Amino acid sequence: MKSLNDGRESCPLSNTSFPHVLPLLSLLEKSMAVGEGTEPWEVAEAGVDVVMFHLGAARTIAQLGGVYRSNAESKLQGFQGQAEVLELFLTDFQMRLLWGSRGAEESQALRYAKFDQVLTALSNRLEPPVRPR
């Protein structure tokens, strides 16, 4: 993962269902959250190369969307979804649950903290933590 984030390698297409988009998202959101750590593109000796790598990876992801889709479909063959869980992936549900009416105005750090709390609560609900005896 570190090599992917640093722009030194890319995901193999043959098995990838969902591409690694975190570096691109970090690159696009970085101007909004200054001071939250150093990203690979902020280092002088590699900065522009890393940005260009991530932008090229984003272009490849956009062009090969069909490959990712077919990979995912082959892996999910026979999968039976649960209606309660399916609702979690709807955009409207996410907007209401995570951000509310003021969501777009919150800082990146607050949005991520709230998202982490929601994921932890969902994880604990679906797979309760093991309690020591």
Q: Give the total number of structural domains in the chain.
A: 2
pLDDT band at 38 (very low <50, low <70, confident <90, very high): low
- 60 and 23 share one domain: yes
Q: Tell me the pLDDT tens digit for each residue of 49-84.
A: 778 888 888 888 889 888 889 989 998 898 888 888
Q: Which of the four pLDDT bands, split at 50, 70 and 90, describes residue 44? A: low
- The domain of 32 spans 2-75
- The token pair at 36 is 């939250």
For the segment 20-31, the average pLDDT, to the nearest whole number, is: 76
Same domain, 108 and 58: no
**Percent of the chain scoring above 90 in pLDDT:** 4
- 103: which residues sit within 8 A by CB, 6+ positions away? 95, 111
- Say yes or no: 56 and 93 in one domain: no
